[in-house]
């Protein structure tokens, strides 16, 4: 295989901002003068401006070029591979954006009467049905706006069931040590108590460890399947039996559902609740802080504890049932992030059952292809190298020992080659972890190129580790103080007069 890869320059580091680009008198749009009756809008004097707002003056092409340049300073899936494990940064078909932006959906107001929004209610009802079929459950709530919010709602629903059954003491929730950090956080927010249990040497849950941990206070267990090591929990049916016999319920973190779409039903595995990350699995990009959707699907036993209002159909007409007099949770306005839900519906309908299965097959095939190549060609060490589902976890342990470079340095150098870095240092149970998820939308050529990039970076580490310590050098900004960037973000341009 030829090593035809080299670092590439991303773009200029210092783009002029809109204020510097602006020239007095330029305009992007000139609105026609109002020719209707004068409108009397009286605002309180305290809110009125006393001097004109100092906004930049630019033409439309200048604005377009500015934002296009800015967008290219960042890495995105249209620019190159994005193997950010656990985040499923795959390509999302544009058609689904078109569907979500259709005026019959996008121009609605959530306070409109039911008869005005029949099309939307029908679409959301279809999505609920589709998600129930995909997961094998009886009822669905589209309301949660993120995976973590789905977890919170799911745990709340389990807590509500125990309270309704007169078992308020059931507050302990078992969580494997490989879990995503949001899992214990969601449990704590519902007033329950997370108890960490160790994964077995094969990276999976050991039913005997679960048996030893359950007791009269067990509320349930939260399991990610496939787990964050990219492995399917093969003893899940036995684990479900043990937890149910102890009176607990099973929550599945279904954020990794892209690996088993159409192949396995969470309900058949013995789970009682699952959340899906529509913004990973079904056509909305994860990351970037944009809107998400983390719907939950539940068994009939838990359905009465879902948030209202719920969509019900009678004789082809859709209604929003407020469940008056019932105590239902409220976690988000209206029906959640509807645009994300519409993209997911378009994604499901366009692919159909066979297409969804192919998504899972290709996600798993791509991850295994990459796993085999990086392990067999001595580029990365993997603690569980015998196969994975949609992602695998490598360790940078040997890079550290042999060349004195850390996983962080490898990740930063990959940026110089034009690919996004994998997720690093997660899961916590793998030393110097690199979590690699190629996703089903990458071609074999792209995967091969990623292997060549890793080979080139490994050769650099062997020849001169300083290259990696200094990286990235081709990105618009170099290595940042990430703690400071998170704690003291500098998000606004202060203008020449405020800069001191």
Ligand X SMILES: Cc1ncc(COP(=O)(O)O)c(C=O)c1O
Q: Which residues bind ligand X (CB under 6 A)?
A: 86-87, 146-148, 180, 182, 224, 228, 253, 255-256, 277, 286, 292, 294
| Nearest to 389, CA basis, from 426, 415, 364 | 364
Residue 155 C-beta: closest distance to ligand X, Å: 13
Residue 84 C-beta: closest distance to ligand X, Å: 9
Q: Which is nearer to ligand X, 207 or 292 (CB)?
A: 292
Q: Which is nearer to ligand X, 180 or 412 (CB)?
A: 180
194 CB-near residues (< 8 Å, 6+ apart): 173, 175, 183, 184, 187, 188
Residue 187 C-beta: closest distance to ligand X, Å: 13
State the residue number with the nearest CB to ligand X.
147
| Nearest to 120, CA basis, from 319, 348, 284 | 319
Q: Which is nearer to ligand X, 253 or 460 (CB)?
A: 253
Between CA 228 and CA 269 the distance in angstroms is 18
Q: Dihedral sign, CA of 309, 313, 314, 319?
A: positive
Q: Which is nearer to ligand X, 86 or 218 (CB)?
A: 86
Hey, how many other C-beta atoms are within 10 angstroms of the C-beta on 235? Answer: 17
Residue 25 C-beta: closest distance to ligand X, Å: 45
Is 407:399 a contact under the CB 8 Å cutoff? yes
Residue 493 C-beta: closest distance to ligand X, Å: 29
Residue 277 C-beta: closest distance to ligand X, Å: 5
Strand 218-224 with 381-382, pairing = unpaired
Q: Which is nearer to ligand X, 262 or 285 (CB)?
A: 285
Identify the helix (H) or strand (E) that includes residue 486.
Answer: helix 482-487
Q: What are the tokens at 476? A: 């618009």
Q: Which is nearer to ligand X, 18 or 77 (CB)?
A: 77
Residue 407 main-chain phi, psi, to 5 deg: -55, -40
311: left (phi over 0), alpha (psi -120 to 50) or beta: beta
Q: Which is nearer to ligand X, 86 or 310 (CB)?
A: 86
Residue 159 C-beta: closest distance to ligand X, Å: 19
Q: Which is nearer to ligand X, 75 or 373 (CB)?
A: 75
Strand 273-276 with 249-254, pairing = parallel
| Nearest to 128, CA basis, from 326, 302, 290, 344 | 344
- Tell me the CB-side half-sphere exposure of residue 387, using CA atoms within 13 A: 3
Residue 67 C-beta: closest distance to ligand X, Å: 26
């Amino acid at each position: 295989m030829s090593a035809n890869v080299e670092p590439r320059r991303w773009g200029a580091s210092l783009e002029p901002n809109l204020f510097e680009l602006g020239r007095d008198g330029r305009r992007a749009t000139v609105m026609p003068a109002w020719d209707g009756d004068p409108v009397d809008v009286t605002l309180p004097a305290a809110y009125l401006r006393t001097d004109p707002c100092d906004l930049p003056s630019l033409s439309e092409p200048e604005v377009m070029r500015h934002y296009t340049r800015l967008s290219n300073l960042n890495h995105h899936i249209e620019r190159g591979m994005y193997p950010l494990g656990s985040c499923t940064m795959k390509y999302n078909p544009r058609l689904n954006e078109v569907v979500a932006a259709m005026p019959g959906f996008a121009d609605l107001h959530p306070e409109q009467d039911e008869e005005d929004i029949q099309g939307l209610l029908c679409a959301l009802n279809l999505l609920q049905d589709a998600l129930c079929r995909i997961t094998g459950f009886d009822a669905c709530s589209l309301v949660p706006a993120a995976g973590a919010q789905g977890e919170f709602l799911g745990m709340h629903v389990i807590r509500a069931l125990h309270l309704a059954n007169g078992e308020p003491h059931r507050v302990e929730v078992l969580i494997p040590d490989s879990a995503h950090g949001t899992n214990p956080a969601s449990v704590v927010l519902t007033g329950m108590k997370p108890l960490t249990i160790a994964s077995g040497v094969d990276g999976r849950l050991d039913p005997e460890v679960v048996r030893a941990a359950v007791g009269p206070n067990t509320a349930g267990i939260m399991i990610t399947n496939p787990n964050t090591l990219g492995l399917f929990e093969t003893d899940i049916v036995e684990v479900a039996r043990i937890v149910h016999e102890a009176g607990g319920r099973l929550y599945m973190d279904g954020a990794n559902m892209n690996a088993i779409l159409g192949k396995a039903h969470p309900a058949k595995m013995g789970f009682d609740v699952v959340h899906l990350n529509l913004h990973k699995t079904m056509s909305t990009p994860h990351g970037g802080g944009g809107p998400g959707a983390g719907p939950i699907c539940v068994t009939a036993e838990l359905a009465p504890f879902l948030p209202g209002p719920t969509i019900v159909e009678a004789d082809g007409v859709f209604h929003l049932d407020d469940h008056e007099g019932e105590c239902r949770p409220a976690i988000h306005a209206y029906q959640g992030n509807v645009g994300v839900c519409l993209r997911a519906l378009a994604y499901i309908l366009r692919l159909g059952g066979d297409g969804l299965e192919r998504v899972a097959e290709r996600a798993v095939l791509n991850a295994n292809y990459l796993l085999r190549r990086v392990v067999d060609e001595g580029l990365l060490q993997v603690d569980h190298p015998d196969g994975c589902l949609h992602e695998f976890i490598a360790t940078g342990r040997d890079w550290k020992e042999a060349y004195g470079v850390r996983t962080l340095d490898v990740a930063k150098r990959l940026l110089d080659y034009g690919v996004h870095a994998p997720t690093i240092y997660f899961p916590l149970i793998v030393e110097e972890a690199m979590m690699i998820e190629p996703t089903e939308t990458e071609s074999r050529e792209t995967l091969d190129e990623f292997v060549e990039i890793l080979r080139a970076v490994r050769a650099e580490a062997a020849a001169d580790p300083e290259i990696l310590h200094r990286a990235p050098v081709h990105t618009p900004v170099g290595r940042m103080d990430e703690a400071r960037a998170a704690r003291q973000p500098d998000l606004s341009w202060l203008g020449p007069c405020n800069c001191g």
